[in-house]
Chain A
Amino acid sequence: ILNVEQSPQSLHVQEGDSTNFTCSFPSSNFYALHWYRWETAKSPEALFVMTLNGDEKKKGRISATLNTKEGYSYLYIKGSQPEDSATYLCASYNNNDMRFGAGTRLTVKP
């Protein structure tokens, strides 16, 4: 069974704080890791698709790293803004099967 775990489940930060959260996935038969941003009442939107160990991707103030040997990815948000408030989902593709984590719900207080 492919288990994808995200931590923490929820996170509250102040505007301007930098923050990060974790996605853990099985390292065996790994192919790709996806990150999605999901605002309330909207659809999930893709942030990154990562495949290589040591990969780092960046989009504005958001960046992600990937460690396929130990099975984790970090998502970083620098200088959080209220508009960053959303649920961040990761999904791991292993052995022809893709599974989503339950997400980390981020709330940024002004």
Chain B
Amino acid sequence: NAGVTQTPKFRILKIGQSMTLQCTQDMNHNYMYWYRQDPGMGLKLIYYSVGAGITDKGEVPNGYNVSRSTTEDFPLRLELAAPSQTSVYFCASSYGGRPSYEQYFGPGTRLTVT
């Protein structure tokens, strides 16, 4: 199993550009998550999904959109990139809901918006 994979690893965007961060898991997990991690801060939840076709906002959803058309894929879209979105983005998945099940994380995408 590859686990959770993310692409790209790094990206530099200009202000106002759009991009999609890809996330795929091959563990047949129902739950998937997108986090951002800023220096000195904990991981903050952007969006999550409890299954194909179902998504919900996390703590910091503004400026992002997600979709979940398949169990495996959970892309994160930035429509109008802003410098405040410079961060490291992690995708994660779990077999069941957050409380009881450990999460498996992808390698991260480092995004810089200038």
Minimum distance in angstroms from B25 CB to a CB of chain A: 12
Chain B residue numbers with a CB within 8 Å of A74 are: none
The A-contacting residues of B in range 5-32, CB under 8 angstroms, are none
The A-contacting residues of B in range 30-86, CB under 8 angstroms, are 35, 40-45, 59
Looking at chain B, what size class is its interface with the partner chain? 20 to 34
Minimum distance in angstroms from A51 CB to a CB of chain B: 7
B103, A46: Cβ atoms closer than 8 Å: yes
Other-chain contact of A101, B42, B98, B103 (Cβ < 8 Å): B42
Complex CA distance for A73 and B97, rounded to whole angstroms = 21
Other-chain contact of B99, A32, A99, A100 (Cβ < 8 Å): A32
Asked whether A89 and B107 contact (CB < 8 A) given A34-B102, A43-B90, A46-B102, the answer is: no
Complex CA distance for A49 and B101, rounded to whole angstroms = 7
A residues engaging B (CB < 8 A)? 4, 31-32, 34, 36, 42-46, 49, 51, 89, 91, 93, 97-103
In the complex, besides A51-B100, A93-B98, A102-B40, 15 extra interface pairs with C-beta distance below 8 angstroms are A34-B103, A43-B90, A43-B108, A45-B105, A46-B102, A46-B104, A49-B102, A51-B99, A89-B43, A93-B99, A97-B59, A98-B98, A98-B99, A99-B42, A101-B42
